[in-house]
Structure 1
């Protein structure tokens, strides 16, 4: 009888030890629940966090739609859908941590800036493209056809209106040789980076994070330049030399709250030396993210 009683209390003990829920957002060409990628990572996190809820965002009704949406669904619509999912989940009402993989990093940053309730507490961006990309040397994801289509269209006209509205990587394409066109035409990245006008709500909301953790992959072959993962970007009118985050106008003018976060000790820059894009081990993540921030 005693054993039966203790077993009956197991869910109560598990709930007591469960921590802040975690929301995940996958990258280009991936899906929420693929056991070989984010699905496997979700299971690992649930084990490491003693049954804490882990929600992997699903933008689409099935595997095929979700993969296509990662390439072809307007980023602003994806962020709005993610905000709705998060807002309507009762388990997240007291706040949550977030982990973004590749483009999921800037998407979750947009969630933090646009959708404060429930509050995001810690945002971890793994290989995000926070200042955008200028080049797709090796498209990731499961569909080579979609990848090649994306590359060709970007080469022709990343800032054409129909491309901006329908091709996700175009929405964070950032041409350092034509900053004015980027600022005027980019429908997603230029907006969340306050390139046209300073949206104080975006700035204030990001500044409310307990921690912003930006992870750069030292041998990243996807993100060009790889310093974009740390908000670094090319110096003016060329695409070779790169400025660190602290030397960019985005930081100096504190347009989205990066300077506020850094000066208050709430912005951490981590690097996985010698690692290609998203090549992160469970051991590294446990030691450097879970044990420090979750």
Structure 2
């Protein structure tokens, strides 16, 4: 008992024990890093429930307004480069961290795992992320609905034109099941990270370094179309009514991302929340999400 206690003490003095892994949060469309009603509240909640944790809520831009605007208009690949640089420069993350993405932040953090393996992400928690993209834009948050109306019209006119792809974030994960070839050839973000144009072995091997990949689907989601995308499902190619699961998709059967291997190893976790998009209680969060953070 004494020897064991001394061993633990030595490890703690070396900084190995007692410090929870840091948490990196990426917000969703139209949100910002520090909104007290959203990401600011989540950051505070995690800090209260996990004493001593370091929480980095990502800000893309020099201020909160830029951060919100960039969630609509800054090329996703440029955002990824920015975040990779932020993570690499943060000394508190160098031994690893957990990632938690909300809505589009879910697929963006997955791209970070695939593209930027250092520092290493241990667990990825995607809350309402659209990993197979969206084919519809039903509504948008709050006072920025006028932006959403403009985005709807733009996507309907030409989601895969170079100008739209380069300057409209939501077009970069627009997935048209009626025009799969156009999606594969035109999407500069989602088709790349989902290995639609060929297999990048580093993407596959990097994703498999995750200990857990947690995906939360909202069962009454009125924003994400189809909501099955939150579990990596999507419309069966060629139509927009019937959906298939991840396990039925070619991405899984061909194992282009290693998801089948991860699934067999118990690394994929599929969670359901009863409410609408990003609507959950503190109790649900504490019970279902925090165990992957502690």
Identify whether the pair has TM-score above 0.5, normalized to the shorter chain. Answer: yes
- SS of the residue corresponding to residue 246 of structure 1 reads helix
Q: Deviation per CA, 1:146-192, whole angstroms, max 9, x where unpaired? A: 22221111111101110000000000000000000000000000000
Q: Is the 8 A contact 2:123 2:292 kept in 1?
A: no
After TM superposition, the score normalised by the length of structure 1 is 0.93
Distance 1:292 1:39, change over 3 A: closer
Q: How many residues align?
A: 281
Structure 1 residue runs without a partner (length 5+): 1-11
Please identify, of 142-151 and 82-91, the stretch whose mean Cα deviation from structure 2 is larger.
142-151
Q: In the TM superposition, what is the alpha-carbon distance from 1:290 to its structure 2 partner?
A: 1.2
- SS of the residue corresponding to residue 289 of structure 2 reads helix
Q: Is the 8 A contact 1:30 1:142 kept in 2?
A: no
Task: Find the aligned partners of 1:139 and 1:256 in 2 and give their Cα distance.
Answer: 30
Task: Find the aligned partners of 2:87 and 2:293 in 1 and give their Cα distance.
Answer: 20
Question: Corresponding residue for 2:278?
Answer: 278
Could you list the runs of 4 or more consecutive aligned residues of structure 1 that deviate by over 4 angstroms after TM superposition? none
Question: Corresponding residue for 2:54?
Answer: 53
Question: Corresponding residue for 1:106?
Answer: 107
Q: Is the 8 A contact 1:214 1:270 kept in 2?
A: yes
Structure 2 residue runs without a partner (length 5+): 1-12
Distance 1:205 1:141, change over 3 A: farther
Q: Is the 8 A contact 1:28 1:141 kept in 2?
A: no
After TM superposition, the score normalised by the length of structure 2 is 0.93
- SS of the residue corresponding to residue 17 of structure 1 reads coil
Question: Corresponding residue for 1:200?
Answer: 201
Q: In the TM superposition, what is the alpha-carbon distance from 1:142 to its structure 2 partner?
A: 4.4
Q: In the TM superposition, what is the alpha-carbon distance from 1:140 to its structure 2 partner?
A: 2.5
- SS of the residue corresponding to residue 166 of structure 2 reads helix
Task: Find the aligned partners of 1:158 and 1:27 in 2 and give their Cα distance.
Answer: 20
Q: Show the 5 A alignment for 1:1-294.
A: 17-140=18-141, 142-273=143-274, 275-292=275-292, 294=294
Task: Find the aligned partners of 1:28 and 1:292 in 2 and give their Cα distance.
Answer: 24
**Root mean square deviation, CA, Å:** 1.5
- SS of the residue corresponding to residue 147 of structure 1 reads helix
Please identify, of 80-89 and 136-145, the stretch whose mean Cα deviation from structure 2 is larger.
136-145
Q: Is the 8 A contact 1:59 1:78 kept in 2?
A: yes
Q: Is the 8 A contact 2:21 2:293 kept in 1?
A: no
Question: Corresponding residue for 2:6?
Answer: none
Q: Is the 8 A contact 1:17 1:50 kept in 2?
A: no
Q: In the TM superposition, what is the alpha-carbon distance from 1:293 to its structure 2 partner?
A: 5.0
Q: Is the 8 A contact 1:30 1:141 kept in 2?
A: no
Question: Corresponding residue for 1:5?
Answer: none
- SS of the residue corresponding to residue 47 of structure 1 reads helix
Q: Deviation per CA, 1:204-235, whole angstroms, max 9, x where unpaired? A: 00011000000000001111100000010111
